[in-house]
C-alpha cells in the first residue's frame, strides 16, 4: 500500500509539478509522456487498493483473497511494464512534441508579443530557466526571467530535451523499483497460498 501511494505521489508530482506541468496547461501537450504517467499513477492507485486484499487474505488465511491479490499484482506488473515502454520507446516523440509546443508559443509571440502570447512564452522561460532558441538575435525582446544572463541564456529546445530525459529516467527507475516489489509480492503470495493449502490438507 505504501509503495502504491508513493508511486501515485511521484506520478502526480511529475504531472502537475515542475516544468512539464507548463506544457500540460497549454492546449497541446506531449501525449506520449503524459500517457506513460497516467498508466504509472493508475498502477500505483490499484496497487495501494490491492494491498487491502493481501492484508485481509493473510489475516484470514483465505486462499481466494490471496489468489485475487496475486492476480491483481500481475495486472499491476503489466501496467508498470507498459509505462516503462511508453517512457523509453516514446522518448524521442515526446521530446519532439514538447519542442513543437514551445516553437508554436514562440511563433505566436513573434506575431503578437502582447497579452496571452507574452504570458505563455514567459511561463515556459521561467519553468525551463531558458530564453529563446539559442540565437542571440532571437533572444532580443523576448520576455526572459530576470535571473537569466543574456546572451548566455540556455537554448529552450535543449532544455526541453534535458528535462524530459531526466523525468523519463526517473519514471524508469521508479517503475523498475516498484516492479521488483510487485514480483516479490507475487512470490510471497503464492508461497503463502501453498502453505495455507498444505496446512489444511494436513488437518
Handedness of CA 138, 143, 149, 153 (dihedral sign): negative
Phi–psi pair at 30, nearest 5 degrees: -65, 95
Q: What is the pLDDT at residue 101?
A: 83
Handedness of CA 89, 21, 2, 174 (dihedral sign): positive
41 touches 33 (CB < 8 A) = no
94 touches 33 (CB < 8 A) = yes
Q: What is the mean pLDDT of residues 18-42?
A: 66
Residue 64 scores a pLDDT above 70: yes
Longest dimension (CA), the chain: 84
Model pTM score:
0.68
Please, which pLDDT band fits residue 139 given cuts at 50, 70 and 90?
Answer: low
33 touches 190 (CB < 8 A) = no
Domain ranges of the chain: 91-202
Residue 27 scores a pLDDT above 60: no
Handedness of CA 139, 145, 149, 154 (dihedral sign): negative
Nearest residue to 88 via CA among 180, 175, 198: 175
**pLDDT tens digits, one per residue of 53-63:** 777 777 777 77
As a whole number of angstroms, the distance between CA 190 and CA 71 comes to 10
Nearest residue to 30 via CA among 41, 43, 39, 21: 21
87 touches 172 (CB < 8 A) = yes
Least confident of 34-38, 50-54, 99-103: 34-38
Nearest residue to 135 via CA among 117, 156, 118: 156
Least confident of 8-17, 99-108, 131-140: 131-140
As a whole number of angstroms, the distance between CA 41 and CA 182 comes to 15
% of the chain at pLDDT higher than 90: 0
Query: How many other CB atoms sit within 10 Å of the CB of residue 184?
Result: 11
Q: What is the pLDDT at residue 137?
A: 53
Alpha-helical (H) ranges within 90-155 are 91-111, 115-128, 136-139
Amino acid at each position: 500500500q505504501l509503495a502504491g501511494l508513493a508511486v501515485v505521489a511521484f506520478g502526480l508530482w511529475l504531472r502537475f509539478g515542475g516544468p512539464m506541468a507548463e506544457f500540460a496547461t497549454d492546449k497541446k501537450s506531449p501525449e506520449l509522456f503524459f500517457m506513460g504517467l497516467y498508466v504509472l499513477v493508475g498502477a500505483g492507485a490499484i496497487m495501494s487498493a490491492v494491498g487491502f486484499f493481501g492484508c485481509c487474505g493473510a489475516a484470514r488465511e483465505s486462499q481466494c483473497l490471496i489468489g485475487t491479490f496475486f492476480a491483481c499484482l500481475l495486472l499491476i506488473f503489466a501496467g508498470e511494464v507498459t509505462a516503462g515502454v511508453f517512457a523509453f520507446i516514446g522518448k524521442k516523440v515526446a521530446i519532439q512534441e514538447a519542442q513543437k509546443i514551445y516553437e508554436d508559443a514562440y511563433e505566436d509571440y513573434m506575431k503578437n508579443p502582447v497579452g496571452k502570447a507574452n504570458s505563455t512564452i514567459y511561463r515556459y522561460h521561467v519553468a525551463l530557466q531558458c530564453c529563446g532558441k539559442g540565437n542571440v538575435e532571437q533572444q532580443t525582446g523576448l520576455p526572459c526571467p530576470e535571473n537569466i544572463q543574456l546572451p548566455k541564456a540556455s537554448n529552450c529546445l535543449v532544455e526541453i530535451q534535458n528535462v524530459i530525459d531526466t523525468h523519463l529516467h526517473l519514471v524508469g527507475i521508479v517503475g523498475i523499483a516498484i516492479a521488483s516489489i510487485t514480483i516479490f509480492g507475487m512470490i510471497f503470495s503464492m508461497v503463502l497460498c501453498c502453505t495455507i493449502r498444505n496446512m489444511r490438507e494436513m488437518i
